[in-house]
Amino acid sequence: MFIVFIAFRLLESGKPVYDYIYVVYLFLNSMFIVAAYPLVFLLEKIFGLVSVSTLKDLSDTNNTLLQELARKAPGTFQHCLQVANLSERAVNAIHGNARLVKVGAMYHDIGKLVNPQCFIENQAPGIDYHKNLSPQESAQLIIKHVSDGVELAKKQMRSMIPYADLMKISEEEMQLLTGENDYQKAAELSRLQMARPTSTGVW
């Protein structure tokens, strides 16, 4: 910064700087700028804020957590990227915080890392993880990825504020969807059981 200032002064007047108070101001300004970056993360922790620089770091698909998701649950990883792109465009259209929503979408399913084969997008062809499970057991395993995701985020993500809020929404949605699916499965199972003949041969 000091070199840039000197260069502009030389271009402007053709003379070097003789007033050294400017040098002091430039030095202090440089120190404040250097100190500002780590101060941002301190303020995030104290006041529960999320900076643009943090969101930018979290949106990098080369970070450890997303790379692990890509290796262990490739179907979920692709799903998260698609949701992130769609949500970013939607929020941009209504002039909202698109970067925050995109990051939340990228991480909303990281809890599936704990048991990736439980989810259809990661299952190998011909393998049904839930085939021998009751509807209640399937629902518990699927919904559990929400709390698993929060725990993973607490351990590996620098900021939990946006993730925790978005996961509350995701949990409510998952409970509704899973509850409906498993209700249908349980109803069908109950219908089949009622249709079986009794030991006396009476239906």
The count of other CB atoms within 10 Å of the CB of residue 9 is 16
Distance between start and end Cα atoms, the chain: 89
pTM over 0.85: no
Distance CA 58, CA 155 (A): 14
Residue 50 backbone phi and psi in degrees, to 5: -130, 120
pLDDT 10s digits, 164-200: 555 555 555 555 555 555 555 555 555 555 554 444 4
Instruction: Give the residue, 200 or 10, on which the prediction is more confident.
Output: 10
Under DSSP, is residue 17 helix (H, G, I), strand (E, B) or coil? Answer: coil
Q: Name the helix (H) or strand (E) containing 138.
A: helix 135-156
The reported pLDDT for the residue numbered 68 is 93
